[in-house]
A and B are shown apart, each in its own frame.
Chain A
């Protein structure tokens, strides 16, 4: 299916969740409401005509000026050979979104990474802990307004 077919198909079945969509250009995607993400994800995975069985990555993008964090879920179908992406926008002050790890198990670690570095909270995630930084690290380093630490367990940041 081409991106425009996928978008038309999505809008047909999940019209209430799809906010907008881009069919052309290098990154065809659909912007989905945060509360509709779980349903859309399950639809993408299980619909026989879509069969997006592989979640390639979850990207979190920090937009301080817009005061939101954008999440991009890149999915491909290994059996049908097409690719697509869905985006979700969450509030920067309180970023919460439903976990898709029940749909794609690969999401589990990607979501842990987004939580670790961007501070996005994934609801109903089985094991939402930091994955890269130490457990007691302050803040989320890839936020645009992140301030470097002064000291960590006796080690100076700028000796």
Chain B
């Protein structure tokens, strides 16, 4: 840096395409309006004023998968729901991300042994980027999950590897 330091006019921003793409992308992760059980209540709390998901640019809950970047699987996924969930995920435009929120979405949770109708982990249905444990996770935990997703997005590059 020392060689080119201080040679440009003030006000000129120098960056990489990767950095600016990831910066904009990770600060506008629009989640899908999609809650399937009690974890959705915590997700709603995260979206409301007290916890304010908007601070992380993820406040715009989209009512259609076609406008959403992030699917927060907030709740118990049944075998009947799994198919619908997969279809919703397939309708999302890339890049798309999935957060498995709560014990049910991660592993079946309380239904792991006797849940005759529960999928034991949503990662069987869609690829999961971030797992947020808890039953249900507190809103802070979901915000932490979104921050970890932001970390993941900032490692992306448009260069061929």
Contacts and interface: CB of A to CB of B under 8 A. Distances in A.
A65 interface: no
B79 A156 contact: no
A153 interface: yes
B80 A155 contact: no
A126 interface: no
Nearest to A157: B120
Interface string A136-159: 010001000010110011011111
Given A133-B80, A134-B79, A155-B79, A141 B117 contact: yes
Contact of B121 (A141, A152, A153, A159): A159
B53 interface: no
A156 B83 contact: no
A133 B79 CA distance: 9
A134 B119 contact: no
A137 B119 CA distance: 14
Contact of A153 (B83, B116, B117, B120): B83
A159 B124 CA distance: 8
Contacts of B92: none
Closest 10 A/B residue pairs (Cβ): A141-B116, A152-B79, A134-B80, A155-B124, A148-B116, A159-B120, A159-B124, A155-B119, A155-B82, A155-B79
12 contacts: A133-B80, A133-B117, A134-B80, A146-B116, A149-B116, A152-B79, A153-B83, A155-B79, A156-B120, A156-B124, A157-B120, A158-B120
Interface of B: 79-80, 82-83, 116-117, 119-121, 124-125
